[in-house]
Chain A
């Protein structure tokens, strides 16, 4: 038996989380370094996974399969395709930067009083981040529906504590109100996702019942179900399939988040610290869109096709609505959150365009959006920590006093508005083209999103960074070494993937082809060729 690489990638941060939590209270700094070391080691392992993965090989590789709860056919089954490899790499890559960016976010403050005085265990903060990483990675690896479900839900626990326990101190309405808002945000996050998860649980049980009914013994194994479908051994009734699809999709749409299930995201991202906000939108939410590709399309191809028109419309609404709301925000972090909602609209649109450009673009979009939002949000965090306010109106002229901060902020913003040369352009254009070839009208409407994106990014930049220097920001220091260390590699990566995305597309393309063949779809032929 070969070395269980996939288990190792997930278990390493889990063990790291336990170890970090166990560091004695007095040795805070040691806990930080330990967490950083573990996350870097995970990154190395993830890189090994990426190199061992052969894009031309089997659909699922590095597989591991053990019986777990034999009575219910639950198996511990792991395996990665190109899409999962890309997202595991993204997760493993971002977490070290998240840890580094949040280096001082969980330090206890001297003489802190009032409702914001809280037990700020540094160890806990970093342990929770590692725990989230472990659970996200295993969700990307799981090919057993039940196994996936468990970690999909379990992720909520550490996230809840990260949002509720380590909030942003720069609330707009004083400390007491901030604390209240924070706990509201954490509970809202939990309730939304829990509601989605419970509906999914019903669908998971339903899936088991269907397989048990038709295959003799129930199974949760994705591969087994897909194979049985293709062999004609498993035929779901039309209505059953649709109901089960909706159950799954609802959970993923909450997580993604898709309009109108999005309202938890601005609260959660606004109230948590910037690194945690990055963790939410760049890492955890990706599980939702990833699961749409892997589970919704793989398990319920017929129902996916049936639901596509509605989902495409919802995605378009998300794109435009998110962008418009971003324009209307007064709070920088909420602005970034609404921008993310707009971007998730693009991802969902790409997935349900059912073309290789759309789905390939959506996968790339997940990775690129992760990196670009991380850059923008982390710099926003650095900015907010300097001035102690989240309101756009409290800034002005920062460019003059902190040119490097402003410059990197602009790069993050330009990535958000998908400027060619930066990674998000590649994915956004692929999604648009992929959508256009199948639904021209939807493609055109989605294109409007790129103007709105320019509007919210540049208005934000103009109001915060340009103009006369406000007295409050006069003494603002420029980016420190640690902060530059966080931002610079991510920006370099954005440029690299924008100019040369081929390594990524090479990994993703075969997986997308498999997914398309699951739903029995092929790309529309060019009009000229079709006419011949």
Chain B
């Protein structure tokens, strides 16, 4: 199969993820969408690695997976804490970034 198709898939996944992040309010869903984007990036990296016969891409993909796993641990913990204190997982409610 033409590897370019994998790239289209990756782009599609990234778009879905990005729209999820931008459009959904629920922090858990936003979080999952971010995972989707990360994996889209991973897919693209692996595809490029395959296309160019260079292993760097695959190595970076592994790193990304480790970082993503760490992020899930920390991120979920934060979301749960916020949910506990505010009884809501909506990202718009957490307006603390404003000065």
Q: In the complex, A touching B, CB below 8 Å?
A: no
Question: Which residues of A does B touch, CB under 8 Å?
Answer: none
Chain B interface residues toward A at CB < 8 A? none
